[in-house]
Amino acid sequence: MQILVTGAAGFIGYHLIKKILNKNKKVIGIDNINSYYDTNLKKDRINNLKKSKKFSFYKIDLSNYKKLNDIVKKNKINIIIHLAAQAGVRYSIKYPRTYFKSNLEGFFNILEISRNNKIKHLIYASTSSVYGDSNKFPLKENDRTDQPLSFYAATKKSNEVMAHSYSYIYKLPCTGVRFFTVYGPFGRPDMALFQFTKNIINNHSVELFNNGKHLRDFTYVDDIVDGIYSLINKQSKKTIPYEIFNIGNGTPKKLLDYLKYIEKGLNKISKTKKLPLQVGDVVKTHSDINKLKKYIGYRPKTNIKIGIEKFIEWYKDYYKVN
């Protein structure tokens, strides 16, 4: 089994590769290390992974089909886990063209490379954002997903239907995973946990959109990674070898409670600034994870209090905070 992980310098990609390496397996990682957020964070993730002799890294953009294809052929890749994407709901409202190139053109290249190199299994990242502003909870895989509220969500829904067409036409085994609000150490600086922690430590106001009345299915990164890893050798046996799964915690939490856990972990009360609901944002997410439970025995293990404590411990160590 020769595994390629795209988005190796990203939050989830980094943690997934760590798990694969801990299983004593080789991994090829690729990433363009773009400047969407602090590139030092991305470089540090890659440098940590490079401590293992079983990890090889290529800096490359998904739009470079020839180089991507050469890497797959040279390393005899037969499993692709595609986590690279331009992330962020709010950023997609300002810069939609960036999402077109990375999430649509880039994903098309991954599909073509998978088809032409007879990849045994393509696992790719989707998002809970495809459900749009649903009021039917918990969210199930067969619920309506044709009314996204952001261009980011639209590109991810496009990935799902593109993958399905390749599964149908070329019998390419594809599995999509819809992530629900992933958090944990070495996380993304644009996510709430990172921003709240940073602002509280620096005595800045914490911005609470929708006046803080959000509910989110916060899912610890190790649980996400366990789910992805368990899917690697679980290609669909259907006539059309395609599957889509929610991968979340299954228990939504109030954003204000999330903030309280951070305050407790830092032993510091925050200053808050309440703001209206932003365009493209949804009020609530809540995953139904029964399909994944039945398929691989998926069970999220990390409760939110422990997960936040682990993040704060990492944050203080990484940024040298007393």
Active site residues: 152
- Give the whole-angstrom CA distance, residue 159 versus residue 118: 19
Q: What is the rounded CA–CA span in Å between residue 277 and residue 299? A: 32
Q: Which residue has the higher pLDDT, 121 or 91?
A: 121
**pLDDT for residue 91 is more than 90:** no
pLDDT recorded at residue 90: 83
Both tokens of 119, joined, read 């990849």
SS3 for 30? strand
Residue 199, Cβ neighbours under 10 Å: how many? 18
Residue ranges and CATH numbers for the domains of the chain are 3-183+219-249+286-301 (3.40.50.720)
Q: What pLDDT does residue 290 have?
A: 98
What does the pLDDT read at residue 150? Answer: 93
Percent of the chain clearing pLDDT 70 (strictly above): 100
**pLDDT band, residue 179 (cuts 50/70/90):** very high
pLDDT band at 93 (very low <50, low <70, confident <90, very high): confident
Say if residues 88 and 21 touch (Cβ distance below 8 Å).
Answer: no
Rounded to an integer, what distance in angstroms lies between the CA atom of residue 96 and that of residue 244?
25
Rounded Cα distance, 60 and 174, in Å: 23
Average pLDDT over residues 96-124: 96
Tell me the pLDDT band of 51, cut-offs 50, 70 and 90: very high
Could you count the other beta carbons within 10 Å of the beta carbon of residue 89?
Answer: 20
DSSP secondary structure string for all residues of 147-200: --SSHHHHHHHHHHHHHHHHHHHH---EEEEEE--EE-TT--TTSHHHHHHHHH
Percent helix, percent strand, percent coil in the chain, to nearest 5: 45, 20, 40
Q: For residue 322, is pLDDT > 90?
A: no
Residue 1 has pLDDT above 90, yes or no: no
Percent of residues, the chain, with pLDDT higher than 90:
93
Whole-angstrom distance, CA of residue 265 vs CA of residue 308:
7
Mean pLDDT of the chain: 96
Mean pLDDT, residues 212-230: 97
Model pLDDT, residue 288: 98
| Burial of 119 per CB tally in 10 Å (0-12, 13-18, 19+) | buried
| Residue 15: predicted pLDDT | 98
| Predicted confidence (pLDDT) at residue 164 exceeds the cutoff of 90 | yes
- CA distance linking residue 259 with residue 49, whole number of Å: 31
pLDDT at 88 (0 to 100): 86
Burial of 272 (0-12, 13-18, 19+ CB in 10 A): middle
Whether 177 has a pLDDT exceeding 90, the answer reads: yes
What per-residue confidence (pLDDT) applies to 244? 98
Residues sharing a CB contact under 8 Å with residue 22, sequence separation 6 or more, in sequence order: none
pLDDT at 89 over 90: no
Cα(230)–Cα(240) distance, integer angstroms: 21
What's the pLDDT at 264?
A: 96
What is the dihedral sign for C-alpha 160, 117, 33, 8? positive
